[in-house]
Amino acid sequence: MRHTLIALVEDRPGALNRILGLLRGRGLGLHSIAVGDSETPGVKRATVLVDTESVEQTIKQLNRLIEVLEVTDVTNAEYVVRETALVKIHAPEPRRDEIKTVADGFGARIVGSSPQTVVVEMTDTPDRLGEMIARVMAIGACETMRSGSLAMALAGPAPRVPAPAPEDATRVWWSQADGIS
């Protein structure tokens, strides 16, 4: 079954690689992953759409990764999903009006063009994006670029970032060794 997970991940080298490697190694299907900065410096927030038989196991396995701070499954919560698509449509001048009509109907925008092409941007649910893309594909050859789903639960606690360990604990620990230097 497909689950929508939201993960908070420390921005360290290889962190994303570890998440992808874990999903592959455990034989889980990754549908999409979208990552970007969170409200906390040094911490990324990712939306992961993954096919798994046991989401509890998947979350526990992800939590074993050192950089993963928190994983939430929002699949059964009230949440919104948005995805952005850029669609480049190869269409001659005479058909541009048609494209504009479709775009307007979907709340999409034309964000750029060249003599041969028009680029449309749209942000909506993945299903609505699919519908729009199907419509413009009937007009001309299309190249699509989609961001992957971004999800956010409507409710939930205020964001909480784990506090760093108190510094004095560190000093005690090191002083146990016979000091050199």
Partner 1 sequence: MTDERTGAQVMCEALVREDVEVMFGIPGGAIMPFYHAMWEYRDRLRHVLCRHEQGAGHAAEGYARSTGKPGVCVATSGPGATNLVTPIANAWMDSTPLVAITGQVSSAVLGKDAFQETDITGITLPITKHNYRVSRAEDLPSVFREAFHIARTGRPGPVLIDVTKDAQQARLVPDWNVTLNVPGFSAPVGLDPRAIREAARILAGASKPLILAGQGVIISDAVAELRTLAERTGIPVVTTLHGIGAFPEDHPLSIGMPGMHGWVHVNRAIQECDVLLCIGARFDDRVTGKASTFAPRASVIHIDIDPSEIGKNVKVAVAIIGDARAALRALIELIPPRDAAIWLRNIRETQATHQHRQPYLRRPDTTELMPHDVYAALNAALNKRGGYRVITDVGQHQMWAAQLIEWRRPRTHITSGGAGTMGFAVPAAMGAAIAHPDETIWAIVGDGGFQMTNQELATIGQEGIKNVKVAIVNNGYLGMVRQWQQLFEGRRYSGTPLTGPSFAGLAEAYGLRGFTVDRIEDAEEAIRAAWDHDGSVVLDFRVEREANVFPLVPPGLSIGEMITREAPA
Query: How many helices (DSSP H) and strands (DSSP E) are in the chain?
Result: 5, 9
Residues in touch with partner 1 (CB under 8 A): 9-10, 13-14, 17-18, 21-22, 25, 54, 56-57, 60-61, 63-69, 161-165, 167, 169-171, 173-174, 177-178, 180-181
Q: How far is the CB of 41 from partner 1 (least distance, A)?
A: 14
CA distance 6 to 34: 10
CA distance 74 to 154: 10
Q: How far is the CB of 163 from partner 1 (least distance, A)?
A: 8
Q: Which is nearer to partner 1, 21 or 36 (CB)?
A: 21
Q: How far is the CB of 155 from partner 1 (least distance, A)?
A: 24
Amino acid at 97: D
Q: Look up residue 100 and give its two tokens.
A: 């504009």
Q: How far is the CB of 160 from partner 1 (least distance, A)?
A: 11
Structure letter (DSSP) for residue 73 = E
CA distance 22 to 16: 10
Q: How far is the CB of 140 from partner 1 (least distance, A)?
A: 41
The residue among 69, 68, 52 whose CA lies nearest residue 18 is 68
Q: Which is nearer to partner 1, 157 or 171 (CB)?
A: 171
Radius of gyration of the chain (CA): 22
